[in-house]
Amino acid sequence: MTRALTCSSALALVFLASSASADVTPQEVWASWQEMMTSAGQELTVGNTADSGSTVEVTDVVIAYKDQMGGSASVSFDKLVFADNGDGTVTVTLPDSYPLQMAFPQQEDGPGSLKLTVNQPGATVVAGGSATETSYDLTAPQVQMVLDEVTDEEGKVLDTKADLTMTEVSGAYRMTKSGEVLGLDTSFAAKSAVLTMSGTGGDEGGSGSFVVDFADLSGATKGNFLSAEMMADMAAALNAGFTMDTSLNFGAMTMTADITEAQGPTKLAANATGGGFELAMNKDQLTYGTALNGAKFTVQGADIPFPQIDLAFAESAFKVVMPVSKSDVAQDFSFLTKVVDLTVSEDVWGLFDPAALLARDPATFIVDLKGKGYWEQDLMDPALQMEGAQPPGKLESLDLTQVLAKAAGAEVSASGGFTLDNSDLQTFGGVPRPDGKLTVNIKGVTKLVDNLIALGVLTEDDAMGFRMALAMFAKPGAGPDELVSEVEFKGGGVFANGMQLQ
């Protein structure tokens, strides 16, 4: 988190400044930039300023930032030019190239420092807005960040090269400032983004290279941001008005990695049709999600007993929405994780099922839950201890929107819902007493068990215990090799298909 905030602060210095009035002038934009940088905790030094009225030229500008954990970042500009466009807007011209440096808090692993060069020939930034709102519009034919030097945690220079190149870049920034709160509404897009990395190192030597290429990259961030000092305590920052809603989406993606070690080379190739990421936070709720679609992976290596491993899936996703602040009123939460139509190469199947007894149909795994609950402590409080025996919150209800596991010719699905009585911890041995019903549908499991016995994965004794459990909890379904189980919790009892078990 500290590294992310440090890097974000440094990069923000490049584009994010504010103006003070409608029909802004170069002088107002430059004055506002200075005020914004210093109020956000950065240290600004300037070599010389030349003001011709319609243009302000500033030379030898250095903006530096230090966080409380020992991290730092700085960016240097040979010259900045603020030019009046004659229509109430101001064009800010940045150098075609400028250096960026970062140092990270000392820790056992990870980089100690980075030196980068940003290249953006032909980039233009146009500032405009009003007394309460500032707008910045950025366009650049190409933006490139080149890694000039990276050191480890002990200061040793590593043999690592990297660069990130984006083409047809555009962005829009809308800013407001009210007291200590900075309102930010941004968006950006790039036709392509290519990251390349290569290097050698490690105690055993070895080398590697990595390339990932994204098409149609786009993103947006909207929120209210506070000073670095206030952000050090996330719980306090949320209660003081910090909010953030950010997203990143991309189209077609390809990736290759080549690693050479003592035991031999390893190659990884991957591609996908698209994906994305989202993160949103306010004092009431946290949302985090990722998605990847149409993905295919291929791995080759000396440790693989056949030419390569192929893996693919149509869709994968993870998303969690939950409350983050202390409350005595139940709030909504949800959880989703899924992999749809997962396949692996026949060589992998052949390792444990050479006779092809198991169906090779694509596998799907989905867990989609929602419910209500609340935290009795602020989840973001640095003093919160999650390891204790007593959970820091209460669960009041849980609904299974969809639970599905489908693989090797068998399918298990479940749906239902429960309410939980947190005042009764005796009936179920310390667990809140549930009330509700769960319906489970099972297909193809009998054939799957027989095949697993034939493969030696299960013994007859193991299968007998499993079949006895099915007979106790399930009843025949609508079709062959189909079972249904209805498990109900009511009045402190447990019922399976109408038969009381407790």
Q: In angstroms, how far is CA 212 from the centroid of its own chain?
A: 17
pLDDT at 236: 84
Residue 302 structure tokens: 């000396």
pLDDT at 235 over 90: no
Asked if residue 388 has pLDDT above 70, the reply is: no
Q: What is the pTM of this model?
A: 0.83
Amino acid identity for residue 245 in this structure: D
Place of tokens 């419910």: 371
In single-letter form, the type of residue at position 331 comes to Q
pLDDT, average across residues 202-206: 68
Which of the pair, 316 or 229, is modelled with greater confidence? 316
Q: Is residue 209 scored above 70 in pLDDT?
A: yes
**Ramachandran sector of residue 179 (left: φ over 0; alpha: ψ -120 to 50; beta: rest):** left
Q: How far apart are CA 212 and CA 311, in angstroms?
A: 18
Token couple for 274: 């698209």
CA distance 493 to 300: 54
The SS3 call for residue 283 is coil
- β partners of residue 476: 483
- Tens-place pLDDT, residues 3-61: 444 444 444 444 443 333 357 889 888 887 887 777 667 899 999 999 999 999 999 99
pLDDT at 140: 95
Residues 423-433: tens digit of each pLDDT: 988 888 888 99
Choice among 10-24, 203-217, 367-381 with the minimum mean pLDDT: 10-24
Instruction: Work out the average pLDDT over 271-291.
Output: 96
pLDDT computed for residue 376 by the predictor: 85
d(CA 336, CA 290): 10
pLDDT at 2: 40
Least confident of 107-111, 472-476, 488-492: 107-111
What one-letter code names the amino acid at 232?
A
pLDDT of amino acid 149 = 92
Residue 367's pLDDT band (boundaries 50, 70, 90)?
very high
Provide φ and ψ at 145, rounded to 5°.
-115, 120
Whether residue 349 contacts residue 360, with contact meaning beta carbons closer than 8 Å, is answered with yes
| Cα 191 versus chain centre, distance | 21
Tell me if 433 sits within 8 A of 492, measured CB to CB: yes
Asked if 268 and 310 count as a contact pair (C-beta separation under 8 A), the reply is no
Beta strands in 152-273 (DSSP E): 160-178, 181-200, 207-225, 243-250, 253-261, 264-272
Mean pLDDT computed over 89-102: 93
Percent of the chain past pLDDT 70, that is, above it, reads 91
Q: What DSSP designation does 24 have?
A: -
Tell me, rounded to whole angstroms, the distance of Cα 360 from its chain centroid.
32
Q: What percent of the chain has pLDDT over 90?
A: 52
Q: For helices 445-454 and 460-473, give the axis angle rounded to 10 degrees.
A: 170
Give the pLDDT band of residue 332 (cuts 50, 70, 90).
Answer: very high
Question: Mean pLDDT: which of 128-137, 355-364, 469-478 is highest?
Answer: 355-364
The dihedral sign for the CA sequence 39, 41, 42, 45: positive
- Mind listing the pLDDT tens digit for each residue in 440-465? 999 998 888 888 888 888 888 888 88
- The span from the CA of 290 to the CA of 132, in Å, is 35
User: Predicted confidence band at 378 (pLDDT cuts at 50, 70, 90)?
Assistant: confident
- Class of residue 469 by CB neighbours under 10 A (exposed 0-12, middle 13-18, buried 19+): exposed
Distant-in-sequence, close-in-space partners of 418: CB < 8 Å, separation ≥ 6: 397, 398, 399, 434, 435, 436, 438, 489
Tell me what pLDDT residue 215 has.
97
Q: Indicate the average pLDDT of the chain.
A: 87
Across residues 211-217, what is the average pLDDT? 97
Task: Name residue 120's amino acid.
Answer: Q
Predicted local distance difference test score (pLDDT) of residue 384: 67
Give dist(CA 323, CA 499) in Å, integer: 38
Q: Among 37-46, 82-91, 169-178, 347-356, which is the least confidently predicted range?
A: 37-46
What pLDDT does residue 297 have? 97
Q: Mention every residue, 6+ apart, whose C-beta is less than 8 A from residue 139.
A: 123, 124, 169, 170, 171
pLDDT average, residue stretch 146-171? 92
